[in-house]
Structure 1
């Protein structure tokens, strides 16, 4: 299983036509990507559902990542959600959440385990209420030991959102901020958007002008912790310095949305969700959706697979909605055309595809074969609106396409 997972990730990440130095960076990222990367997915599921207009009876294919969005789509009442992922840690996390929703006795227990995610009792809750219902591979993952020698399920007694590649990256960012005598949590204490901007301008923005920060972010490996491979680094930077791009994205996160309604800001600036009763949370973690999650959880299937392979094995005209995250930023033209050929084969009339890109424009024109691209309608105005409203703020563009037949 580990050998298969390694091959799947290497095939997706290591560019076949790259120079030797670039391939070395690709392999370094592939190695980092084999462990837990995202304890929480960093795409806004509310934006996804508004753009896709998921409804009853629909079949949805998405990339799992932390499974927050795949679970949240269930609130829109689709018939089925299939979430695929190259990373077995992400698959194990998704299956852990599924088993918890099926078997935990109430919302309070679920919230303490997955929203607060640092209570000592969570170890016993896992052992008695969740583990007996997990598949063998997922249980093996959570009960095996990480590089520190501790069982991975212990992440939920120490704070799962401080773990993984992204959690470690955010932790390092907080440590670096302290060295510059900056308290990132001050953003969360602001009482208005004006106050949030004042904190950003006074404390956060100047950091990106520091010589060391500009030098560090000029290296692709510096963003591995964000889950950004070398191929996507180039798309993200474009013709600008990476420090300039990161400053602009952080400004959107810190200033464009109230922290009272943005759990991404809490993860970035507070390293976890707010704990008050009215805290912003992903839809699947909200109290009002607990009943729907329990009733519909059997409609979610999380798999360790490449999405092209999954679509190739699917029936023609069998899918209604596709969520590709930012995976296409990793792809060469051959992979891109293979993916869209399978999407077209499996798409039902009116099917929609939503994806994100590191750069602002859609990457399909000029890369996807004209014969494939002309079968889709690009909703440019709607895409721009969704991009502006995406609370995660780290992507240049959210793009929405509709199958024209």
Structure 2
């Protein structure tokens, strides 16, 4: 009964905007996927950062699917903005800084006329606070949504313990980052209240972790220990000047200035490429398995599942991989992440179906280590035999 209540609460929480920024590293994705000019990609859309970033690898086409209407609207807003804002300065101000009143004028002049009616209604309507949703881009959209609110609560909790999480962003090298982490952040996970709080499944809804995934993530450990290790990787394993995930976690937005780290789709060197190729992306409000069922055999070759399988039953996994296998072209690759470290497919997917795919142990381990977002236990790559 308790699990059903938690599942229902999580489903309700996921109806609105969850991720203004996706939390999978697109550089790792593109390394694993080995996108080619004839690649036909299908991906769960989420916040759209990775879908747009894949355009820099020059695929033939990308289909972005999602059941969350807010994510669909955000993807379509990003694509229309890439195609119709006057220049990179406007695009960067809108999605990197995301806190200027001038963004609204640019939206109304250049972007709004090119949005479909459903997307237009979404951004023009008011949220629970009474503000038009598009006004999120005048007050830092990255502080909004389920994840943005979760990070805000984490910063509030840190301040109660007299810790400034943003201090790590001034560190000059990895050694200094580690010193800041060990001095300021690590001790928080020993606090009795923090350990109690993080052991409550509902406390991690803001990270997009449903009850089933919470159990997989925790394993047999206190959740505080798991979170400490993930935060340590984020804080210590990658230079903050190259890790925009660290800026989002510790600074609640992207950094300022031309040298601030940004996702590939927002970088100035990729502006014209993303602009020219944005029409290759088709955004669909759909269930991934159902969408694949309607596609021809051997019509796709790159699949990006994010961490959605962590939420699935064995029957749902079987249905998804049946359609992936049917629609896969020779050399097809499937990329996904899991809360726990190992791949979840062995023992849950039919042996004959799984035998059609080769698991790349070495590349999966390498990509797991290099994923700068640091919140997942495993990054997994399968290739069609």
CA displacement, residues 64-123 of structure 1 (integer Å, 9 cap, x when unaligned): 000000000010000100011110000000000011011111000100001100001111
Unaligned runs of 5+ in 2: none
SS at match of 2:134: helix
- Corresponding residue of 1:96: 77
- Give yes or no for the alignment of 1:175 onto 2:156: yes
SS at match of 1:47: helix
Q: CA deviation at 1:21?
A: 1.6
CA distance in 2, matches of 1:323, 1:102: 24
1:112 to 76, 87, 93: 93
- Corresponding residue of 2:21: 40
- Corresponding residue of 1:186: 167
CA distance in 1, matches of 2:90, 2:219: 45
1:202 to 169, 176, 183: 183
Q: CA deviation at 1:316?
A: 0.5
- Corresponding residue of 2:295: 314
- Corresponding residue of 2:103: 122
Q: CA deviation at 1:163?
A: 0.6
2:333 to 326, 341, 352: 352
SS at match of 1:321: strand
Structure 1 runs of 4+ off > 3 angstroms? none
2:32 to 31, 48, 51: 51
- Corresponding residue of 1:233: 214
- Give yes or no for the alignment of 1:71 onto 2:55: no
Give me the TM-score of the superposition, normalised by structure 1: 0.95
Q: CA deviation at 1:381?
A: 1.0
Unaligned runs of 5+ in 1: 1-19
- Corresponding residue of 1:274: 255
State the Cα RMSD in Å: 0.6
1:4-403 matches, within 5 Å, as 20-403=1-384
Aligned length: 385
Give me the TM-score of the superposition, normalised by structure 2: 0.99
SS at match of 1:185: helix
SS at match of 2:165: coil
- Corresponding residue of 1:15: none
